[in-house]
């Protein structure tokens, strides 16, 4: 399900002749106003839920050349992004290039994910950090100290 006012795009010509890939697997839900942009590879696995206004991109805007307008500098920092099966990203979450969010993770609202999050974790904040992890031995979600 893809709700209204989303911007979902593939940016061609940055990696190789095979082109960019944006894969959204079965039973995914994409909230209103989401923005997903792929210049190389973005994977949204099964049963992922994205809250409103989630931003996911496998690239950033170049800005380093001060003699050229930023709008004309293209993109850089291209690195694949994966949102793991059964993950839930809260409202206004930002996922940056090179990040993998593991299986059955929860990312709290308005978090900025700039590094990968392991399976079965809850992460929040700017930048996002893991605050809970599922303990398979005890069957309990435990706070991370």
**CATH code of the domain occupying 7-143:** 2.160.10.10
Contact call for residues 117 and 132 (beta carbons, < 8 A): no
What is residue 17's predicted lDDT score, i.e. its pLDDT? 60
Contact call for residues 87 and 102 (beta carbons, < 8 A): yes
pLDDT tens-digit map of 20-29: 899 999 999 9
- The CA distances from residue 90 to 35, 46, 101, in Å, are 14, 17, 13
Contact call for residues 6 and 33 (beta carbons, < 8 A): yes
Cα-based angle 56, 58, 61 (whole degrees, multiple of 5): 95
pLDDT higher at 8 or 145: 8
Residues with Cβ within 8 Å of residue 95, at least 6 apart in sequence? 54, 55, 56, 57, 81, 83, 89, 101, 107, 113
In this predicted structure, the answer to whether residue 16 has a pLDDT above a threshold of 80 is no
Domain ranges of the chain: 7-143
For the chain, the straight-line distance linking the first and the last C-alpha, in angstroms and rounded, comes to 37
Q: Which helix (H) or strand (E) holds 42?
A: strand 41-44
Contact call for residues 119 and 136 (beta carbons, < 8 A): no
* pLDDT confidence band for 118 (50 / 70 / 90): very high
The rounded distance, in Å, linking the Cα atoms of 68 and 54 is 30
* pLDDT confidence band for 96 (50 / 70 / 90): very high
20 Cα distance to chain centroid: 16
- Rounded to an integer, the average pLDDT of 5-13 is 90
């Amino acid at each position: 399900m893809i709700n209204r006012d989303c911007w979902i795009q593939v940016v061609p010509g940055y990696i190789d002749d095979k082109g960019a890939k944006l894969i959204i697997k079965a039973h995914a839900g994409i909230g209103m106003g989401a923005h997903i942009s792929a210049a190389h590879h973005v994977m949204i696995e099964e049963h992922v839920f994205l809250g409103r206004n989630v931003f996911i991109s496998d690239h950033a805007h170049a800005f380093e050349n001060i003699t050229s307008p930023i709008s004309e500098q293209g993109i850089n920092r291209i690195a694949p992004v994966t949102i793991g099966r059964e993950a839930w990203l809260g409202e206004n979450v930002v996922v940056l290039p090179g990040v993998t969010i593991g299986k059955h993770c929860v990312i709290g609202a308005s978090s900025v994910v700039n590094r990968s999050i392991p399976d079965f974790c809850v992460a929040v904040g700017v930048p996002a950090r893991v605050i809970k992890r599922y303990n398979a031995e005890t069957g309990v979600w435990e706070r991370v100290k």
